[in-house]
Structure formats: C-alpha cells, structure tokens
Amino acid sequence: MEQRYVSIWFRHLLTDWMAIRTPALTGTAFVFTTKDRGRNMVSHASATAQSAGIAPGMLLTDARARVNALQDFELPENQETHILQKIANWCLRFTPAVALDAPDGLLLNVTGCAHLWGGEAAYLSDLMEKLTAFGYILNAGMAPSPGSAWAIARFGSASQIIPNGDQLKALLGLPPAALRLEQHTVNRLYQLGLERIEDFIKMPRPMLRRRFGPLLLTRIDQALGYEAEPLTYIQPPVPYNERLPCLEPIMTATGVTIALERLLEHLCARLQAEGQGLRKATLLAYRIDGKTISIQITSNHASSHAAHLLHLFSIRIPQLEPGPGIETFVLQAERVQPVASTQEGIWRSNGGLQDVAIAEMLDRVTAKLGPNVIGRYMPQAQHWPEQSYRVTDSLTDNPSIAWPEKLRPVSLLAKPQPITVTAPIPDYPPMLFIMNGKIHTIKKADGPERIERAWWTDAGEHRDYYIVEDHEGRRFWIFRLGHYDPEKPAGWFVHGYFP
C-alpha cells in the first residue's frame, strides 16, 4: 500500500490557544514573553499585535510603545509541546499514527484512512474544518512522504494534496527552506542565487554534498520518498484496528451497536484471513466535544467469531456515555493469537479446552462477573506449595510439567491460617485442632509429608504436612512449621481444603 502523510502547520499555535482559552482576548493585541539577559523579549505575538508591527524578538518596552493596551503573558515552560500533545490526542480519531512536529506542527500517517471519509479531499477538509472550528489558524498538506507533506503545508497553497509520484513537480517552485534545512545552509543557497529548489535539485550530488553537506541530500531524498523517515508516534499503532466515521453524531445504544457490528465484521474478516483470533479489544468512541470514551473486552480463547464478540461488547455498551454525540468509532485488537485448527468446527462439543463453545461461555461469564472470577491454574516445577502453580487466562497454554501425583487440596489458602493443636509427639498427627473458635476432632489422618524450602532463595523452616478428616467428614491440609521442640511449641496452620 502506498504511504500517505498529512502535515499540519499551526501558524499561530500559542496565541490561538490563548484566545481559545480566554475568549475575551480574541481580536486583541497580546504577546508571550521570555527572559533574555534580564530583559523581557516578545516570543510570540497575536495577529492583531503583528498587524501593529510587533514581531518576535522585539523588546517588550518597544512593543508597548507601538500598542498602549498591549497585554503580555509569560510563556510557560514547554507550553507548545503540551498544546501539541493535546491536539495530537484529538487527531487519533482520524488515524492511529500521529507524531509531534515541534514546535508548531503535527505529522500524521494517514495510509488506508482517507477512503473512510470518501476520499483524500473530504478527509483533509474534515480534519481542517474541525481544527479551524476550535479557533486555530492552520495550513495542511497531504503527500507521499513526511518531507513533501511538510513542504506543501508551509510553503504551498492551502490544503494541497500531492498525488503519489508528483512530489518532485510540487517541490520545484518552493524555496530551499521547504526542505527543512539549517538556516545557515538556506542563507548560503540564497547568496549563490539558488532561491528555489528547482535551481539546485538537479545539480550533481557530489558537488551538492561537498558545498552544502550531506544533510541537503538527505532532505531531498526524504522529500522525494527515496529515503524512509521514521516518525515517533504518540501511541504505538495497533496492527489490527478498524475505524468508522459517522455522518451524524451517534447518541443511542442502538447506533453504537450498529457501528460496532460493522467494525467487528471487517476486523474478524481480516483476522480469519490471517489465521488470527482476538484475545483483547477496545472500542474507542470519539465525541464531538473532544472527549474520548471506551469499553474493553477480553476472551479466554482466541476468537474471530463476530457474533460472539458483539455479545461481549453489548454487555458493556450501557457504560458508554455518548454525551452530545459520537463522531468516530475505532476498534482496536490489542492482543491477538493464532487460532487453533480445532476452532474451525465452532460448535463441536468434543474439543475439550479447544472447544470454542466452552471458551465463549467463559467469556460471557467473565464479561458479566468481572475479569478475576475465572482462572486456570498450571503446574510449576516447584515443591513449595505457594510456588507450585501459576495462573493463566489462556485456554491454549500447555503445562511444562504434569501435576504432582501426591494428593493436593483443591482450595489452597493464599496465606496459611494459624490453628491451636493438641498432638502427640514427636511425629504423630494432631488429635484435634481449634480454628476460628471451633473444635475439630480428628478421626482420620495421613502423614507427615515433609516439604523443604528452596534454601538458596527463601530462608526459613520446613513444613510437615498432614491430611486430616474431622468428625463431620471435612478434610483439611494442615502442617507443623519446623522440628518438634518440647521447650518451644511448634506453630500449626491450615493451608487448604479437600472436597
């Protein structure tokens, strides 16, 4: 797929932001200032202030001489980056790949997104209209490379779209600064009479490298798309995602369900074609007031069954608050796994843990009761009871070892509970024990089974375990901590229960 990029240039980022934040400043003359050798210098000026002759780099006292009612604000540290970050987060409704282009721009990888808006012209127009409606003055350009998009946004005509293969033609009439060159290189090109890219781009490359350094050639290759330019996106793009812009804001659960059904159909078709199944997914809903709401599901088994996944989401749809309306939906498959071949027979009942019907039933229970209600336990190569198992949420994980043949309780306490015991000595099981104020008279017992600690990682005493059955038929797994000592009574604990 041919790459497409959009560059957005905010011509007055800070002053536009200030006017949006404080509407009373709209149309007034105000500036941001910074300290330079103890003097207040103008760093940014509003459009009204600029029309009065105030420019960045001017002393604040000189600026006040031009406009008596000039208002000044101290520039907060890294304020431009903070503003760009917020705008970039908002732009995620248009593409999952958004990068900051400090100090006054953004770069968007929009590959595969524009068709959802009916084409690149409609896509770029919608993006610019919404940002302009917030109060920002901006230019934008769409092109096959970040470099050519950047050049068009800042030095081309407003909202210009460059088709693939036409970037050289679009660049020829632009000044050297459109290649993102260092200022001293731009000055030197002007001194030599090379005022447009067409004046030097076809010169021999060895000569350009010798006179202006390797950066000039790198920028030319990046702008023409000959050399890749890596971008650092504010969020790592999720490989499996689908988005759906809405013609009208969605404000009902029925509308959300219809949108989600369409997204799942497209996503599951892609997953099935690639032999993948979904384990974790998030539905992001971008509201027209700029807020983002979301719901998330997880599945116990990799699934590409759209109806089942829709059912899991439908349980959470009432949690969404559409507010004034949702304008864009994005469905992200954040975790996928290969689908086992046994899953092709969806409704077979002889697949054991591979049976999709079982996995989907567990998904429904988890969706209703919470993510920590159901767990699967796998054996680990450890003798110490607390370390002899691990919890997994996958039905496809295979244990590396078999469960021990020795009898173990079905329910193991996270922390052994101390008990009071009456026991013969030295290695006989107790005759009775008291737990939570209740006396349990022991009728049957088996043991002891000594379990040592992993002394190289865990200091402490060993345990002597007994399986005991009380007078009511209940069975317990109890242990004595350490050796018998007539001068120091040993501690006794309940660690688990048998069915």
pLDDT-based confidence at residue 366 (cuts at 50, 70, 90): confident
Runs of H (alpha helix) within 27-182:
47-51, 60-66, 79-91, 120-134, 146-155, 167-171
Percent of the chain with pLDDT strictly greater than 90: 66
Specify whether the CB–CB gap between 42 and 33 falls below 8 A. yes
pLDDT, average across residues 41-56: 93
Q: What's the Cα-to-Cα distance from 300 to each of 266, 367, 402, rounded to whole Å?
A: 22, 11, 22
- SS3 breakdown of the chain: % helix, strand, coil, rounded to 5? 35, 30, 35
pLDDT of residue 37: 84
pLDDT of residue 245: 94
Coil/strand/helix, residue 16:
helix
Q: What's the Cα-to-Cα distance from 6 to each of 100, 167, 318, rounded to whole Å?
A: 12, 13, 36
Rounded distance between C-alpha atoms, residue 326 and residue 247, angstroms: 10
pLDDT-based confidence at residue 433 (cuts at 50, 70, 90): very high
* CATH H superfamily, domain 1-9+79-237: Reverse transcriptase/Diguanylate cyclase domain (3.30.70.270)
Interacting residues of 395 by C-beta distance below 8 A, sequence separation 6+: 300, 301, 353, 354, 358, 359, 362, 376
pLDDT, average across residues 290-302: 90
135-155: pLDDT as tens digits: 999 999 999 999 999 999 999
Beta carbons within 10 angstroms of residue 382's beta carbon: 13
pLDDT, average across residues 92-109: 95
Rounded distance between C-alpha atoms, residue 3 and residue 12, angstroms: 29
Q: Which of 241, 316, 284, 263 is nearest to 90 (CA)?
A: 284
Rounded distance between C-alpha atoms, residue 114 and residue 131, angstroms: 17
Sequence ranges of the domains in the chain: 1-9+79-237, 243-365, 375-405, 411-498
Residue 27 predicted with pLDDT over 70: yes
- The mean-pLDDT minimum among 69-78, 202-211, 483-492 falls in 483-492
Regarding predicted confidence, which is higher, 220 or 404? 220
Q: What's the Cα-to-Cα distance from 380 to each of 384, 407, 458, 493, 496, rounded to whole Å?
A: 10, 16, 17, 23, 18
Q: Which residue has the tokens 């496809």?
A: 396
Q: Across the chain, what does the average pLDDT equal?
A: 89
pLDDT of residue 352: 57
Q: State the maximum Cα–Cα separation within the chain, in Å, rounded to a whole number.
A: 105
Residue 347 predicted with pLDDT over 80: no
pLDDT of residue 324: 94
Peptide bond into 371 cis (omega under 30): no
Query: Domain 243-365 class?
Result: alpha beta
pLDDT-based confidence at residue 429 (cuts at 50, 70, 90): confident
Euclidean distance between the first and the last CA atom of the chain, given in angstroms as a whole number: 59
Rounded distance between C-alpha atoms, residue 154 and residue 165, angstroms: 20
pLDDT of residue 351: 52
Percent of the chain with pLDDT strictly greater than 70: 95
Structure-block tokens of residue 217: 């050639």
Structure-block tokens of residue 328: 């864009």
Q: Which of 398, 395, 379 is nearest to 387 (CA)?
A: 379
Residue 382's φ and ψ, nearest 5 degrees, are: -140, 140
Rounded distance between C-alpha atoms, residue 142 and residue 307, angstroms: 38
Rounded distance between C-alpha atoms, residue 221 and residue 149, angstroms: 13
Residue 192's φ and ψ, nearest 5 degrees, are: -90, 5
Q: Which of 382, 254, 406 is nearest to 318 (CA)?
A: 254
pLDDT-based confidence at residue 348 (cuts at 50, 70, 90): very low
34-43: pLDDT as tens digits: 988 889 999 9
pLDDT-based confidence at residue 345 (cuts at 50, 70, 90): very low
pLDDT of residue 159: 67
Structure-block tokens of residue 181: 């060159």
Structure-block tokens of residue 383: 């003798």
Coil/strand/helix, residue 188:
helix
Coil/strand/helix, residue 418:
strand
Which amino acid, 124? Answer: L
pLDDT-based confidence at residue 344 (cuts at 50, 70, 90): very low
Specify whether the CB–CB gap between 462 and 482 falls below 8 A. yes
- The mean-pLDDT minimum among 52-61, 184-193, 208-217, 393-402 falls in 393-402
Neighbour-count burial for 162-195, b at 16+ CB within 10 Å, e otherwise: beeeebbebbeebbbbbbbbeeebbeebeeeebe
Q: What's the Cα-to-Cα distance from 312 to each of 235, 280, 434, rounded to whole Å?
A: 26, 11, 46
- The mean-pLDDT minimum among 70-74, 194-198, 379-383, 423-427 falls in 423-427
Neighbour-count burial for 430-460, b at 16+ CB within 10 Å, e otherwise: bebbebeeeebebeebebbeeeeeeeeeeee
- The mean-pLDDT minimum among 140-154, 430-444, 449-463 falls in 449-463
Coil/strand/helix, residue 205:
helix
Rounded distance between C-alpha atoms, residue 359 and residue 457, angstroms: 38
pLDDT of residue 29: 94
